[in-house]
């Protein structure tokens, strides 16, 4: 038994492409207590996460903890 999950076909809110919410991904979500289906396909989700990381990165540059030698 896989826990009763079945692959779901969802539409990405970012690129409007159909993507599969896999059983593994559903188990991952369930383990973390997420009850909502993902809104983005994997490609857009990766871009979204990267954008968040870049924002953080810029934040770090704004407040450097050390300086590079000239
Ligand atoms: Zn997408």
8 Å CB contact between 8 and 26 = yes
9 by DSSP, 3-state: which? strand
How sure is the predictor about 67, in pLDDT bands with cuts at 50, 70 and 90? low
**Cβ-based burial of 3 (10 A; exposed 0-12, middle 13-18, buried ≥19):** exposed
Summarize pLDDT for 19-65 with one digit per residue, the tens.
Answer: 999 999 999 999 999 999 999 998 999 999 999 888 877 765 555 45
Ligand 1 centroid–CA 14 distance in Å is 5
Rounded to whole angstroms, how far apart are CA atoms 50 and 65? Answer: 22
> What tokens does 12 get?
């990405």
Ligand 1 centroid–CA 70 distance in Å is 43
Show me where the domains of the chain are located.
Answer: 8-62
pTM of the model: 0.65
Ligand 1 centroid–CA 48 distance in Å is 10
């Amino acid at each position: 038994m896989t826990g009763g999950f079945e692959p779901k076909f969802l539409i990405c809110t970012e690129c409007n492409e159909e993507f599969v919410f896999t059983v593994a991904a559903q188990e991952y979500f369930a383990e973390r207590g997420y009850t909502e289906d993902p809104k983005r396909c994997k490609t857009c989700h990766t871009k979204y996460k990267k954008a968040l990381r870049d924002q953080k990165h810029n934040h770090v540059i704004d407040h450097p903890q050390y300086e590079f030698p000239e």
